[in-house]
Structure 1
Amino acid sequence: MASNIFGTSGIRRVFMNYSESDVMLTPQMALEVGLALGTYLDGNANVVIGKDIRTSALPIEYAFISGLVSTGCNVKTLGIVTTPTLAMSQRYLRADAGVMITASHNTPEYIGLKFWGPSGMGYVPEQEEEIERIYNDKAFLNIEWDEVGKVTNVDDINDIHIIDVTNRIMFDGSNLHVIADPGNGSGCEIVPKLLSAYDIKIMTINAQMDGKFPGRNSEPSKENLIQLSKFLKTSDQDDIGIALDGDADRVIFLDEDGVIVDPIRLLTLMAVDYLKRYKDTIPKENLKVATPINSSSLMEDVLNPLGCEVLRTEVGDIKVAEAIKEKGGFLGGETSGTYIWPRTHLGPDSIGTIAKVLRMIVESGKTLRELLNDIPDYPYYRKAFKLKKDIPFTDDINEKIIKEVKEVLEGKGKKLKNTNKLDGVRFDFDEGWILVRRSGTSPYLRISGESSVNLESSKEMNELVQEKMKKLDLI
């Protein structure tokens, strides 16, 4: 029976040392996926591999490398690095492909594999489908004993990455005070070193690498950043807080009062700053910012009057990067705190984003909260619910969702303007919008939306839709 091994963000599963099925990610599965990728690359490729700090990353790495070199591919290992560092290394090491062994923000029992092209962009579904076909058919490339690939280690990639960032983004950070919370993840080394390179005064919490995430859960969500927020609220010196997830593809900023900054407001602020700096030099076809369907409509309201188009995509950094690659653009980002700067590479870039945000603060002489004063804050609310059954959402399920949510809107006297099925189902109505979608990385249903009235209105719509999803026996 053929297995669907890829989700919306590579392969991500709970680790198990051995299993007869593909429900878990085992070393045996990693070996065969390595063989499949090597076969897809025709065995004649240089592949860069990085991993996060999860305890299961080691056996998965060794097994996966065994598969790759058994097709003739040569491997360069980076050790424990962030996903942005892996994406940057593609260009520097002239790689044909990259592999990050990570489960990103998932809980510690998960592990995963995510593939990257030379541009730093993750593999698109068509590429993953071909690898999946090779994996399922076991149609692996055969080589002779003397054609096995080689493995070499690259020890200084973090230093190279920091030099790359500081050469492009220059400022004097000696008057800044920052609290950094890498969440016991891969950013524990590179983030403090980057801040020190700018002479920033830093304090760290949860800054010891530990694949069990003892300090907090990996996802930098509000409930997981209570400690960091308290530090900022009680500090007289600290200007900003920075929090990352396990592989540091996501970065969340907190202002001087310990308040989490909405990533879409920050994305919009950075877009405005970029336009002020470079608008006269940006080709017209690149006056675009890409963001998924679940992002706030404030982006259109702020950026369209500046001559900047907002490209709406499916959820996921790869979808955002794909839109930029196909349609042009100078920036992309998601509600999760993922930011893409295509002039550098097409992968998530928390490291470069940290430098750009701090540069804005230094050059403006304003706090992050003051910088955000000109960016509207629309009442946005979202919740995630564990699915009763871990199943994909078919057209039939989506049609049932549409029927039930329409009943909610009609019952509240809302005028439905548009229904968008790009990713899940988004309902735009006269006072806002609401989106119902299944997560692509975990068995959860996410309900999000915003209101032009107030936050209570957003919460009320969310709760009414929740009841409908319970009626459908989804949650």
Structure 2
Amino acid sequence: MTSNIFGTSGIRMVFQNYSETDLMFTPQMALDVGLALGTYLKGEGIVVIGKDIRTSALPIEYSLISGILSTGCNVKTLGIVTTPTLAMSLRYLDGNAGVMITASHNTPEYIGLKFWNPSGIGYSHEQEEEISRLYDEKKFLDIKWDQIGKITSVNDINDKHISDITNRILFDGSKLNVIVDPGNGAGCEIVPRLLSEYNVNIITINAQMDGKFPGRNSEPSEKNLIQISKFLKISTQEDIGIALDGDADRVIFLDETGEIVDPIRLLALLAKNYIQNNGSNISANDMKVSTPVNSSSLVEDVLQPLGCEIIRTEVGDIQVAQALNEKGGFLGGETSGTYIWPSFHLGPDSIVTIGLVLQMMAKTGKRLIELLKEIPKYPYYRQQFQLKKDIPFNDEINQKIITEMKESFDSIGKELQSVNKMDGCRFDYDNGWILIRRSGTSPYLRISGESSIDINQSIEMNKIAEEKMKKLNLI
């Protein structure tokens, strides 16, 4: 029986200074995770560690480092950085592994760990299972006093990240007016610094690092971005708004009217712009974009006519990155606002994405709302329901869902074109699709749907799916 401390995105739990269970994340647990990671690495090489601004990050960091050093591995600490900076840093620092101490967009009482390979790609499920096994068995490397690893502090990694971007993404931003909301998170320093390098005119809100997130909740969702949205609505000068989560792996853009830009529409725009500017230099293997099954079909509709293949994956930035790593591609992205640029590294990088969006605006002389006119906007509808039982959805449950939904399509006279069981159950039909999926991080069932013609069609299909899930006693 394993403790199952890993979720769908590393370890993420509420902090507790002491707990007799694994329901809370404690410094003692971090110590054992450090020992497990060092044992997994056979006590060799360098582990690069970064942390976000959460108040509990420091005790977790000290404990984690103690465990890693006690196996013989060396540690390089970055201090407070963004997750993209940690992922990028591994190749500069010859890291054999990276650990980001963060709970990403969760509320401030949460803390967690996310693990990274030298390429910047997050640890796979198999790698996490091995760390979890070592953590449970407690059979850690036993070394002598004179074999303990060494620790080094790295103080200039933000400089490296910024120069990596400014050396490759070139533009003059002196005519751009941008408002940035880092949400009191780890992006408070690096994003304004990057924009200053481009001579962008900047206004910031919630730009003081504070692990209690006093300005707004960390997740850059619509309800949490009211302040920046209102500012854009009343401003006559600002061209664009940029909002980040706590560790800045996610980025959300707002147009000059204060409306949130759909991340998948932006993904399609960025990909289209990239192909138009680099088409002849993109190899056949790299003419691909990776995105999960819950992303809009507009990606296919916009990019396939340009000769770009769309790779669908399970939900999660690691799954998107794995597809890029294994199958090739120049860009990956999710509905949450994560974007992956393999030419930089295989982790989500909001900082690179900001540079590329502003470059596109500066070079065309157009605001984002104008650039997005060439990208369709399909009506999308999503609901979330509490599960009656907190159980994983196995093949048996998925098959029951498929059987019920097939009956529904037959009864309303819609032709079911395909069923995708990669992550949940996605049903594609003429002019739309619906996805029924259990959340990977909480006991919820999510029903989302899209129609290329009418929001009412999405609402109708969602209501049908809701009734079927009630019939199956799932919600």
The TM-score bracket by the shorter chain reads over 0.9
Structure 1 window deviating more from structure 2 (316-325 vs 398-407): it is: 398-407
Amino acid at match of 2:264: I
Cα shift at 1:299: 1.0
Give the TM-score normalised by structure 1. 0.97
For 2:352, the equivalent position in structure 1 comes to 352
Paired residue for 1:444?
444
Name 1:286's counterpart in structure 2: 286
1:256 aligns to what? 256
Q: 1:412 to 1:204 in 2, by over 3 A?
A: farther
Distance 2:107 2:467 in 1: 27
Deviations 1:391-435 (A, max 9, x none): 322222222332343344344332222111100111112231111
Question: d(CA) in 1 for partners of 2:361 and 2:216?
Answer: 28
* Residue aligning to 1:47: 47
Aligned CA distance change for structure 1 residues 246 and 444 (closer, same or farther; 3 Å): farther
> How far has the Cα of 1:260 moved from its partner?
0.8
SS in 2 for 1:248: coil
Distance 1:386 1:53 in 2: 31
Once the two structures are superposed, residues 305-328 of structure 1 have per-residue CA deviations (whole angstroms, 9 ceiling, x without a partner) of 111100011111111110011111
One-letter amino acid matched to 1:289: V
Equivalent residues in 2 for 1:233-244, closer than 5 Å = 233-244=233-244
CA shift, 1:473, in A, is 4.1
Aligned to 1:198: 198
Go from structure 1 to structure 2 and tell me whether the alpha carbon gap of 1:456 and 1:213 turns closer, same or farther (over 3 Å shift): farther
Q: Distance in 2 between matches of 1:412 and 1:110?
A: 45
Which SS does the other structure have where 2:106 is aligned?
coil
Matches of 1:247 and 1:130, distance apart in 2: 26
CA–CA separation in structure 2 for the residues paired with 1:447 and 1:61: 38
SS of equivalent residue, structure 1 residue 445: strand
- Single out whichever of 248-257 and 452-461 deviates more from structure 2: 452-461
Contact 1:174 1:199 (8 Å CA) reproduced: yes
SS, match of residue 435 in structure 2: strand
| Partner Cα separation in structure 1 for residue 169 and residue 275 of structure 2 | 16
Structure 2 partner of 1:159: 159
SS in 1 for 2:12: strand
Deviation at 1:51? Answer: 0.8
Matched, 1:245 2:242: no
Q: Kindly indicate whether residue 150 of structure 2 is the aligned counterpart of residue 150 of structure 1.
A: yes
Match of 2:207 in 1: 207
> What is the CA–CA distance in structure 2 between the aligned matches of 1:98 and 1:330, rounded to whole Å?
23
Change (3 A) 1:383 1:108: farther
Q: Relative to structure 1, is the Cα distance of residues 14 and 406 closer, same or farther in structure 2, using a 3 angstrom cutoff? A: farther
What value does the CA root-mean-square deviation take over the aligned residues?
A: 1.4
Alpha-carbon distance in structure 2 between the residues aligned to 1:16 and 1:41 = 28
**Which secondary structure does the structure 1 equivalent of 2:170 belong to?**
coil
When normalised by structure 2's length, the TM-score is: 0.97
- Partner of residue 101, structure 1: 101
Please name the residue that 1:421 is paired with. Answer: 421
Tell me the equivalent position of 2:78. 78
Pairing of 1:378-393 with structure 2 (within 5 A):
378-393=378-393
The answer for the alignment partner of 2:318 in structure 1 is 318
CA contact (8 A) 1:414 1:431 kept: no
What's the offset of the Cα at 1:281? Answer: 1.1
CA distance in 2, matches of 1:219, 1:386: 20
1:471 is displaced (CA, Å) by 4.2
**Matched AA of 2:405:** V
Gaps spanning 5+ residues in structure 2: where? none
Aligned equivalents of 1:80 and 1:18: distance in 2?
24
Change (3 A) 1:388 1:268: same
Partner residue of 1:333?
333
Q: Cα gap change, 1:310/1:199 in structure 2, threshold over 3 Å: closer, same or farther?
A: same
Does residue 342 (structure 1) correspond to residue 352 (structure 2)? The answer is no
Q: How many residue pairs get matched?
A: 475
Residue 247 of structure 2 aligns to which amino acid in structure 1? D
Aligned partner of residue 434 in structure 1, secondary structure:
strand
Give 1:388 shift. Answer: 4.1
2:76 partner SS: strand
Match of 1:168, SS? coil
Q: Is the 8 A contact 1:290 1:324 kept in 2?
A: yes
Give CA deviations for 1:363-415 in whole Å, capped at 9, x if unaligned.
00111011111111111222333434433222222223323433443443322
Aligned-pair CA distance for 1:226: 1.5
**How far, CA to CA, are the matches of 1:408 and 1:27 in structure 2?**
51
In the TM superposition, residue 465 of structure 1 has moved relative to its aligned partner by 2.3
- The code of the aligned residue for 2:325 comes to K
Matched, 1:6 2:6: yes
Match of 2:305 in 1: 305
Aligned amino acid, residue 310 of structure 1? I
- Whether the 8 Å CA contact 1:49–1:75 is kept in 2: the answer is yes
SS in 2 for 1:418: strand
Q: For residue 36 of structure 1, what is the aligned residue in structure 2?
A: 36
Which 5+ residue runs of structure 1 have no aligned equivalent? none
1:60 — aligned with what? 60
1:148-180 Cα distance to aligned partner (Å, 9 max, x none)? 111121112112211211111111111111010
* Partner residue in 2 for 1:433: 433
Partner of 1:224: 224
Secondary structure of the 2:25 match is coil
Deviation at 1:353, TM superposition (A): 0.3
Partner SS state of residue 2, structure 1: coil
Equivalent position amino acid for 1:158 in 2? N
Q: Distance in 1 between matches of 2:350 and 2:388?
A: 34
Change (3 A) 1:430 1:178: same
Matches of 1:211 and 1:369, distance apart in 2: 33
Q: Secondary structure at the match of 1:174?
A: coil
User: Which residue identity is paired with 2:44?
Assistant: N
Q: Which is worse superposed, 17-26 or 113-122?
A: 17-26
Residues 16, 26 of structure 1: 8 Å contact kept: yes
Give the counterpart letter for 1:98 in structure 2: G
Secondary structure in 2 matching 1:459: helix
Q: Distance in 2 between matches of 1:196 and 1:473?
A: 55
CA offsets, 1:304-359, max 9 Å, x none? 11111000111111111100111111111111110000011000010000000000
Q: Percent identity?
A: 72
Q: Which amino acid aligns with 2:62?
A: Y
* 2:296 aligned counterpart, secondary structure: coil
Residues 386 and 202 (structure 1), Cα distance of their counterparts in 2 relative to 1, 3 Å cut:
farther
SS in 2 for 1:99: strand
Counterpart of 1:273 in structure 2 is 273
1:269 offset after TM fit, Å?
A: 0.6
Q: In the TM superposition, what is the alpha-carbon distance from 1:106 to its structure 2 partner?
A: 1.4
CA displacement at 1:119 relative to structure 2: 0.5
Alignment-mate amino acid for residue 426 of structure 1 = R
